[in-house]
């Protein structure tokens, strides 16, 4: 995938997550939330020539971005996306967490995409 495809995929996954959650499919919604965050990070990492081929590399990329932006909330938001990823496998999240945490991931994706515009 090229950078713009990662950006487009991230947005598509956010839209699909909304649909899945509205249909009551929390597992698929959770995985799409994770996928949106992951693809957003992949876009920045690819643009900057960073490794992004595995989960650890994505975490390293987010840490680098958070340090560059002097914004630790980016790492926290990515951690919320990781929670959605784990929920896909273990179904441990409570109903209130979906409504509470989805906006943080959506904002994370928007923030990461805004960095692309600055490059």
Q: How many CA atoms lie within 13 A of 23 on its CB side?
A: 11
Domains of the chain: 3-118 (1.20.120.330)
How far apart (Å, rounded) are the C-alpha atoms in residues 65 and 18? 26
With H, G, I as helix, E, B as strand and everything else as coil, classify residue 35.
helix
Instruction: Express each pLDDT in 63-95 by its tens digit.
Output: 999 999 999 999 999 999 999 999 999 999 999
Query: Sorting pLDDT into bands at 50, 70 and 90, what band is 116?
Result: confident
pTM of the entire predicted model: 0.94
Do 33 and 86 form a contact (C-beta atoms < 8 A)? Answer: no
């Amino acid at each position: 995938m090229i950078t713009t495809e990662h950006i487009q995929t991230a947005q598509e996954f956010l839209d699909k997550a909304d649909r899945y959650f509205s249909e009551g499919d929390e597992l698929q919604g959770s995985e799409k939330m994770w996928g949106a965050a992951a693809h957003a990070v992949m876009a920045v990492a690819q643009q900057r020539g960073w490794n992004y081929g595995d989960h650890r590399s994505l975490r390293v990329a987010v840490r680098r971005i958070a340090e560059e932006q002097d914004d630790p909330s980016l790492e926290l938001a990515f951690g919320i996306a990781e929670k959605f990823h784990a929920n896909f496998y273990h179904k441990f999240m409570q109903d209130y967490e979906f409504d509470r945490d989805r906006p943080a991931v959506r904002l994370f994706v928007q923030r990461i995409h805004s960095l692309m515009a600055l490059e």
